[in-house]
Amino acid sequence: MKHITSLLTALGLMLAAGPSLAADKVVFGTNWLAQGGHGGFYQAVVDGTYEKYDLDVEIRMGGPQVNTRPMLAAGRLDFLMGGNLLLAFDNIRNDIPTTVVAALFQKDPQAFMAHKGQYADFAALTKAPSVLVSKDGQFSFWQWMVDSHGFQNEQLRPYGFNLAQFLSDPKMVQQAYGTAEPLYAAKEGAEVDVFLLADQGWSTYGSIIETRSELVETNPDLVQRFIDASIEGWYNYLYGDRTAAYQAIIAANPEMTVEKLDAEMLQFERLGIIDSGDALKKGIGAMDEARIKGFYDLAVESKIIEAGSVDLSKVADMRFVNHGKGLDIKAALTGK
């Protein structure tokens, strides 16, 4: 009888525990090769945060030969690290059913750089003989710079993502990603001044996180878990031990080094790109409807997009952010 009772007890415990459920598989696409600006996601993988949220996350890199953007709508990705809000607006204009669910960067890292001391401030750049701007930039932020800040199309020269022209001409000004080209220039021995467009009124968020609208509607719990875990990963990456995340980034992109990653993260901090603005009180990933509307108005006024071409109600879903997620982690790691 004792033997039978033991068996029944063991069986009861097994039934109570229920079957072991596999973690939900999530494929997340980044916008470029692995780098410091992707670190919070790698952190959440290596320190077990995604696993804690019952997620099995695969990070799929973008890059020069990989366009991850169409993969989201096609269902090959579940989440995508995008650029700024213009891309989200473009999806809505073209009836592509995607939704922004978080904004990792409170400031877009898009910037312009000049040789150290050549120009007193951003306004002085309007007097530069030549300004190097990429084709995409010419049809986006450059139009705003002309419309709102007095730049002239006569200054415009094509930027081919090569520093040679800039390095050879002390009066040259060129577009830059605030955490990239300034560091490359420094490596070549050129000191530069960096003028972040966000500090001049270019009010878009950067590194927005997008997903399919269908996923938001049918599985909001999965979306919330991915955003919550990613936010935790970012706080641990910014304020904790990054060693394992660095190793994962370097394994994915051997061109990176610890020294390069440290320099990149220091630049993020100097420019106040990630943990700033609304994120200070609402948590990393914070978004604001009024700010999205304000950037849309800016884009219309600068003739980047047509008035009435975007249904703003479809651009972003605020329910997954603005809850102060991760602020306790920051307080524990920093004592603030």
On whether both 30 and 173 belong to a single domain, the answer is no
Determine the pLDDT at residue 6.
43
On whether both 216 and 136 belong to a single domain, the answer is no
Determine the pLDDT at residue 19.
43
On whether both 65 and 157 belong to a single domain, the answer is no
- Closest listed residue to residue 208, CA positions, set 94, 75, 69, 306: 69
Separation CA 121–CA 299 (nearest Å): 24
- Does some domain include residue 220? yes
On whether both 98 and 209 belong to a single domain, the answer is yes
How would you write the chain as a 3-class SS string?
Answer: CHHHHHHHHHHHHHHHHCCCCCCEEEEEECCCCCCHHHHHHHHHHHCCHHHHCCEEEEEECCECCECCHHHHHCCCCCEEECCCHHHHHHHHHCCCCEEEEEEEECCCCEEEEEECCCCCCCHHHHHCCCEEECHHHHCCHHHHHHHHHCCCHHHEEECCCCCHHHHHCCCCEEEEECCCHHHHHHHCCCCEEEEEHHHHCCCCCEEEEEEEHHHHHHCHHHHHHHHHHHHHHHHHHHHCCCHHHHHHHHHHCCCCCHHHHHHHHHHHHHHCCCCCCCHHHHCCECCCHHHHHHHHHHHHHCCCCCCCCCCHHHCECHHHCCCCCCHHHHHHHHCC
Q: How many residues does the chain have?
A: 336
Report CA torsion sign: 257, 235, 323, 106.
negative
- Does some domain include residue 12? no
- Closest listed residue to residue 324, CA positions, set 268, 296, 284: 284
Q: Which two tokens stand for residue 95?
A: 């009836």
On whether both 100 and 229 belong to a single domain, the answer is yes
Separation CA 189–CA 135 (nearest Å): 27
Q: Which two tokens stand for residue 146?
A: 């002309």
* Boundary (domain end) residue, out of 153, 179, 200: 200
- Does some domain include residue 101? yes
pLDDT of the chain, 336 residues: tens digit per residue: 444 444 434 434 444 444 446 899 999 999 999 999 999 999 999 999 999 999 999 999 998 888 888 899 899 999 999 999 999 999 999 999 999 999 999 999 999 999 999 999 999 999 999 999 999 999 999 999 999 999 999 999 999 889 999 999 999 999 999 999 999 999 999 999 999 999 999 999 999 999 999 999 999 999 999 999 999 999 999 999 999 999 999 999 999 999 999 999 999 999 999 999 999 999 999 999 999 999 999 999 999 999 999 999 999 999 999 999 999 999 999 998
* Boundary (domain end) residue, out of 200, 228, 256: 200
- Does some domain include residue 19? no
Question: Can you say whether residue 213 is alpha, beta or left, with left for phi > 0 and alpha for psi between -120 and 50 degrees?
Answer: alpha
On whether both 234 and 158 belong to a single domain, the answer is no
* Boundary (domain end) residue, out of 166, 183, 200: 200
Separation CA 299–CA 309 (nearest Å): 11
On whether both 220 and 259 belong to a single domain, the answer is yes
**Residue 302: what residue type?**
S
Q: What angle do CA 5, 10, 16 make, to 5 degrees?
A: 125
DSSP bridge pairs for 208: 103
On whether both 325 and 215 belong to a single domain, the answer is yes
How many separate domains does the chain show?
2
Contact 242, 333 (CB under 8 A): no
- Does some domain include residue 99? yes
DSSP bridge pairs for 209: 81, 102
Domain range for 254: 24-106+204-334
In sequence order, what are the residues at sequence separation of 6 or more whose Cβ sits closer than 8 angstroms to the Cβ of residue 63? 32, 33
On whether both 151 and 46 belong to a single domain, the answer is no
On whether both 240 and 279 belong to a single domain, the answer is yes
On whether both 174 and 122 belong to a single domain, the answer is yes
Residue written as tokens 């050549």? 118
On whether both 84 and 156 belong to a single domain, the answer is no
- Closest listed residue to residue 107, CA positions, set 187, 222, 193, 207: 207
Determine the pLDDT at residue 14.
41
Separation CA 209–CA 100 (nearest Å): 6
Q: Which two tokens stand for residue 129?
A: 């003989």
pTM recorded for the entire structure = 0.91
- Does some domain include residue 7? no
- Does some domain include residue 175? yes
Separation CA 69–CA 146 (nearest Å): 29
Report the CATH number that the domain containing residue 36 is assigned in CATH.
3.40.190.10
